[in-house]
Amino acid sequence: MNITRNNVDALNAVVTVEVAKNDYAEKVEKVLADYRKNASIPGFRKGAVPMSLIQKQYGKAVLLEEVNKLLQDNLNKYLVEEKLDILGNPLPKVTEDFNWDLEDYKFEFELGLAPEFTVDLAAKNDLVQYKIVADDKMLNDQVARIQKQYGKLIAKDTVEEGNDVSGIFANEEKGINNRTTLSLDTFADKKTAKAFIGKKVGDVVTLKTKGLFDDDHKLMDVLAIGHDDVHGLDIEVTFTIDEVVGHELANLDQELFDKLFGPKVITSVAELKAKIKEDAEQQFKQQADQKFLNDVTESLIATTKFDLPASFLKKWIQTAGENPMTPEQAEEEYTRSENGLRYQLIEGKVMAENNLQITFEDLKSYTTEVIKKQMAQFGQMKPTDEDVQGIVARVMSNQDEVKRLSEQVMNEKMLNLFKDKVKAKSKEVSYDEFIKAMYGELKH
């Protein structure tokens, strides 16, 4: 068997595989001999069927199968030995007048080659690494929410200051009809809150959406409309009150602190705020890290320039799935998946150049921490090591879970690498400012 390669260009190649009779003849004869031993054909004893009849009945199918096995085995071996980094799978070139009656065959396969490129993690960019702080306003608001949550609810007929109102926002023209609950202090203008004072269940309040809240994303939530629809929205909506609730606030005393965190863990309002700040900023860190990872990913895709064998990939996409695609469908799929493919290549190079690998111990350690956090959420603060490792063993015996956790471990390794290597400005922001940055509304 002879295999040769013609590099069409830097991203495309054609591999020619020449198969001679002596490459497959012995295997075909052995398979046909086995067929002959077991063949049951009327008029012949088992094992005594003439080989010519076996050859006539099964010869072509066996030939095709054995030649195909040879092709696959030797082509894969060739790709490994030549260290060819290919995209997709080799595509056989269709030969209209291919003749299986010959004894020697020639097959051609198209290859899409992975591009050569460099990744500069330290390149100049406009990336920002956010540190979200729980400011005094957030802490005070959270303490107030705790007092309301653990206080007593009092049903009211008439709206008074400090009450919550539930009802339906509606605007027929815009298709808005959404039930929500509001605290009167969430409105941007105190005049809006005053419009509710004295209203009763069943009353309707008409409001203008423009400037209704300090943050348009709050408007997006209460009206149940999309992010693109909410900006600049300047319409009238009605709010039909269907429930009014007053609150008798819980006292900020030891009884409440113990109920929240256990006996004597927190003993003052200052310690309560410190605990809220610690917990909130830990959650904020995860959100900030995810945004940084996403931003670096997008930046690398945009700035790491290389060509792809697009024509080859579109042809490959047509045949890669369970159901063949039309050229038009393949074009659409390629457009959707191109950035994902580019990042896969970038990520692979970054991992190789920085020797990022996942060991069994990495995976086990990460899974152990995940399990402990989940158990803590259900009140098991001090589980035994035996219990934890028992769950870890069960999780790691599930291949789908191992794949999912492995991706999370690698994301964590990539994030730490990016924090170390990627040049980014540090910016301390409140959570509200971070949300605006998420939607591109906060200047760096």
> Domain residues of the chain, as ranges?
2-113, 152-248, 280-438
pLDDT band at 5 (very low <50, low <70, confident <90, very high): very high
* Residues 334/317, Cβ–Cβ less than 8 Å: yes
What's the pTM? 0.73
The helix (run of H) or strand (run of E) holding residue 220 is helix 216-223
pLDDT score, position 444? 47
Query: CB of 237 within 8 A of CB of 209?
Result: yes
| CA–CA distance, 204 with 242 (Å, rounded to integer) | 9
pLDDT of residue 441: 57
In angstroms, the Cα distances linking 420 to 119, 128, 328, 354, 416 are: 15, 14, 43, 12, 6
Query: pLDDT tens across 94-146, in order?
Result: 887 788 888 899 999 999 999 999 999 999 889 999 999 999 999 999 999 89
Per-residue pLDDT reduced to its tens digit, 24-47: 999 998 988 888 887 777 777 777
Contacts of 15 (CB under 8 A, 6+ apart): 3, 4, 5, 6, 75, 78, 90, 108, 109, 111
pLDDT above 80: residue 185: yes
Q: Give residue for tokens 């693109």.
A: 228
Residue 71: CB atoms within 10 Å = 20
How far is Cα 102 from Cα 84, in angstroms, rounded to an integer? 31
Superfamily of domain 2-113: Trigger factor ribosome-binding domain (3.30.70.1050)
Contacts of residue 25, defined as CB under 8 A and 6 or more positions apart, other chains included, come to none
Residue owning tokens 């309707």: 204
Give 442's pLDDT tier (boundaries 50, 70, 90). Answer: low
CATH architecture of 280-438: Orthogonal Bundle (1.10)
438 phi and psi, to 5 degrees?
A: -60, -35
Tokens 């815009």 locate to 174
Pairing of strands 86-92, 105-113: antiparallel
For the CA atoms of 92, 98, 99, 104, the dihedral, rounded to the nearest 10 degrees, stands at -50
Dmax over CA atoms of the chain, in Å, equals: 104
d(CA 171, CA 238): 7
Taking residues 144-158, report their average pLDDT: 92
- CB under 8 Å, gap of 24 or more: what pairs does 38-41 form? none
Which DSSP category does 94 fall into? P
Residues 430 and 135: beta-carbon distance below 8 Å: yes
Distance in angstroms (rounded) separating the CA atoms of residues 39 and 43: 12
Domain 152-248 is of which CATH architecture?
A: Roll (3.10)
Half-sphere exposure of 288 (CA within 13 A, CB side): 23
SS3 state of residue 196: coil
SS3 183: strand
pLDDT at 63: 92
Q: What is the mean pLDDT of residues 388-405?
A: 93
